[in-house]
Amino acid sequence: MPRDVRAVELIGAPGSGKSSIAAALGGLPGVVVLKDHLAADLPVLAWSTAAAGRLLLTRPPHGVPRSRWVAWLGRSRAAPAMVRRRLAAGAGVVVLDQGPAYTLGRMGGTAVGNPAVARWSRARVAECRRLLDAVILLDGDTAVLAERIRSRAKPHRAETLTADMAVAYLERERATIRTIGETLAAAGVPIVHLDAARPLAENIAAAMALLGDRA
């Protein structure tokens, strides 16, 4: 694991504790959580989106609105510049929540059978290798994740599904997370696996330890 951690991304299925860990890390001195863009990010987001060219016209994955597909294309390419902006502004560590790894996972199925999207995805994976010092991957038993979603105050779409449909949905989410984790690991990105079934405090402590003295 690299000692000089500057950029880390959190990925995990719903109910895995990702948002809680991001919030805890964001409360540390010197740590900036990057999830939503700022007004200053708009130029690079616009440029990154325009640079996608004909990929903007690609049919999105089933159930994904074209507007979201376009946003994914822009955010995935803009991520390095957005991280550099936070570091230049004084952040010791940038923690990405729904960053390029998350986005590539969402776009992954579209790369199958589409050479242009596949090339784009490979280029973004290479950028992740250069950008990310580590990816924290949270995964756990589907039943545990489903129970957490049902019991927490934060609303989620899985709450509107039947029990069987919710399990199927979470299994797909877990598979997506594992697939992008394997892809990034093969490219040389360090992956830190955390068991979402463990107490949240333990996973927060493990994530904090990863940041070390940079925070």
Q: pTM, whole model, 2 decimals?
A: 0.90
Rounded to an integer, what distance in angstroms lies between the CA atom of residue 158 and that of residue 96? 23
Letter for the amino acid at 205? A
Residue 10, classified by CB atoms within 10 Å of its CB into exposed (0-12), middle (13-18) or buried (19+), is: buried
Rounded to an integer, what distance in angstroms lies between the CA atom of residue 22 and that of residue 47? 28
The per-residue pLDDT for 162 is: 74
Boundaries of every domain in the chain: 7-214
**How large is the average pLDDT for residues 173-201?**
94
Q: Does 2 have pLDDT greater than 70? A: no
The per-residue pLDDT for 155 is: 59
CATH code for residues 7-214: 3.40.50.300
| Cβ–Cβ < 8 Å for 33, 95 | yes
Q: Quick one: which of 26, 34, 147, 14 has its CA closest to 86?
A: 34
Answer with the residue of higher pLDDT: 131 or 37: 131
Summarize pLDDT for 123-165 with one digit per residue, the tens. Answer: 999 999 999 999 999 999 998 888 888 776 665 565 566 778 8
Summarize pLDDT for 102-125 with one digit per residue, the tens. Answer: 999 988 778 777 888 889 999 999
Indicate the Cα dihedral angle 110, 111, 116, 121, nearest 10°.
120
The per-residue pLDDT for 87 is: 95
**How large is the average pLDDT for residues 46-75?**
91
Letter for the amino acid at 162? T
The per-residue pLDDT for 158 is: 59
Answer with the residue of higher pLDDT: 50 or 4: 50
Share of the chain above pLDDT 90, in %: 67
Q: Does 3 have pLDDT greater than 50? A: no
